[in-house]
Amino acid sequence: MFCLLRVLSQRRLLEDTRQRENQVATRIQSWFRACKVRAYLSHLHKKAIIIQKTWRGFTARARVRQMVKAAYFIMKMNFYEEMAVRIQRRWRGFFQRKYIHNFYARKSYLQGVAAKNDLLRRELDELKKLQRRERDCLAMVKEQEAKVYQAQRLHHLISTKQCPGVFNSPFRQAPHEMELLLRQVKYQVPTRLAPRGRARPQGIPSPTALSFPGNLGSPWTKTSRTCCSRPVLSPITTKKQQVMTVKVWTMTDRWSVNVLIRFF
């Protein structure tokens, strides 16, 4: 029994310590297991990191390579575009300046217009002068013709040896021009009532339309005539005469046509 009490008290003591020792043992074991797990986890982490690091490096390098390619491409394209812009700029400038708005062509055109204007003005002035001269010439010739016709009709007023005529007054220094004309003009038997300016019997000077009247001198110069219409037959008693009919167009028109043909 005493040994039983000793055993029971020992067992009671041991029971107390057993709990504690159990606890301690549990603690130690749990700590150890924790260390084991921690070691395992850290090992896993490290390996996972290695994998992830390698993978990320791989993808990043692939992306960078792509980015480098793209940047290179963009750089090249920028260069090309800039060169293209230069070419286009030069071309557009050239094209505009040559075809669309050519400054020098416009300048020379305007100068040409001014030159043509002056030319035409000069030509028209000359033409006008010529026309006026011709009109004056015709007027003069007409006047002369009229005088000669008058002289013909008044032939009887010519002064004779005995008796001075009306136009040859003794108080004058020299005879009147009518007197001189009367002396020069040959008397012509008047034919039928020919209207003045149409039929031209011999003796009346013909209008010289082809040459200028530098010398309207002698009234009976037999020059080539211009007739407006049909040729006139001379009377049978008088000498034959050359009669040339020329076209109606007077000199100025021919001249002006020539000028203009030469002009352009």
Partner 1 sequence: MMSQRQIIQGVMSMLRPLLLDVVPNIQQTAALALGRLADHSDDLAEAVVKEDILPQLVQSLASQNRFYKKAAAFVLRAVAKHSPELAQAVVACGGVDALVLCLEEFDPGVKEAATWALGYIARHNAMLSQSVVDAGAVPLLVLCLLEPEIALKRIAASTLSDICKHTPELAQTVVDTGAIAHLAQMILNPDAKLKRQVFSALSQISKHSVNLAEMVIEAEIFPAALTSLRDQDEYVRKNVATLMREVVKHSPELSQVIINYGALSGVIDYVNDCRGNLRLPGIMMLGYLAAHSENLAMAVIISKGVPQLALCLSEESEHHIKAATVWSIGQIGQHTPEHAKAVATAHLLPKLLELYMDASSSEDLQAKSKKALKSILQKCTYVPGLEPLLYDAPSNILKHVVCQFSKVLPHDSKARRLFVTSGGLKKVQEIEAEPGSALQEHINAINNCFPEELVRYYTPGYSEALLERLDNYQLA
* Maximum Cα–Cα distance across the chain: 230
**Those residues with Cβ within 8 angstroms of residue 8's Cβ, 6 or more apart along the chain or in another chain:** none
* Count of CB atoms situated within 10 Å of the CB of 136: 11
Q: What residue spans of the chain are helical by DSSP H?
A: 2-95, 103-153, 177-184, 251-263
Are the CB atoms for 205 and 144 separated by under 8 Å?
yes
Smallest gap from Cβ 90 to partner 1, in A, equals 26
Q: What gap in Å lies between CA 135 and CA 141, rounded to an integer?
A: 10
Q: How far is the CB of 250 from partner 1 (least distance, A)?
A: 6
Pick the closer one to partner 1 by CB: 94 or 263: 263
- Give me 108's structure tokens: 């020379």
Positions that interact with partner 1 (CB under 8 A) = 106, 109-110, 113-114, 116-121, 124, 127-128, 131, 248-250, 253, 256-257, 260, 263-264
Question: At its nearest, how many Å lie between partner 1 and the CB of residue 242?
Answer: 25
Nearer to partner 1 by C-beta: 127 or 232?
127
CB-nearer residue toward partner 1: 82 or 125: 125
Instruction: State the nearest-atom distance from the C-beta of 91 to partner 1, in Å.
Output: 25
Complex with partner 1: residue 131 or 245, whichever CB lies closer: 131
